[in-house]
A = this chain, B = another copy of it.
Amino acid sequence: MSPSTPGTAAVAASQTRPTPDGEGASRFQQSALAQEVAFLTARSRSRGNALANQMLVDLDLKVRHYAVLAMACSGTNPSQRELGSFLDLDPSQVVALVDALEHRELIRRAPDPRDRRSKILIATDSGHDLYTRASERTRAAERQLLTALTPQEQDELRRLLAKIVF
């Protein structure tokens, strides 16, 4: 996933990272592009994704699977359609992801009593177990992603992002 990451664990290189960028904190920080929030969010999500994926490898999960599992564990009983629109996934991608998790018996498709067309996603017991462990990993990844921010700043960031995204 990066020039490092040989093949061992995943917790790997967490420290000794003077700057997240490959270059010396990047002489490009002042460029116009670097001021665009579209660019900044893209870079953030790229970093966050890579970090979280590393953390999840030994649970055999990727963040996209994790996201589905998380929603199945949320108690909100989302239908596949709802899940797709929440996660910005095409219905066909949802099918593939749900298939994968269902084959591993982490979640199951339950009939929607309101509408026989739709299927509701619910985590199994082992799904909940795995989610518990996985969410610890993603929490760790988040901690790492946000080390540069104070706790107040972290909250503020969450607030602002939520505001533009919901």
Contact = CB atoms under 8 A, between A and B. Distances in A.
Contacts of A22: 85-86
Interface in A13-42: 19-23, 25-29, 31-42
Interface residues of A, number: 63
A48 B38 contact: yes
A164 B138 contact: no
A145 to B, nearest CB: 6
Task: State the oligomeric state as a number of copies.
Answer: 2
Contacts of A44: 37, 41, 45, 161, 164-165
A29 B78 CA distance: 12
Interface string A132-150: 0001001001100110110
B37 A157 contact: yes
A138 B32 CA distance: 11
Contacts of A154: 37
A151 B20 CA distance: 28
A63 interface: yes
A97 interface: no
A60 interface: no
B157 A157 contact: yes
A4 interface: no
A156 B160 CA distance: 9
A10 interface: no
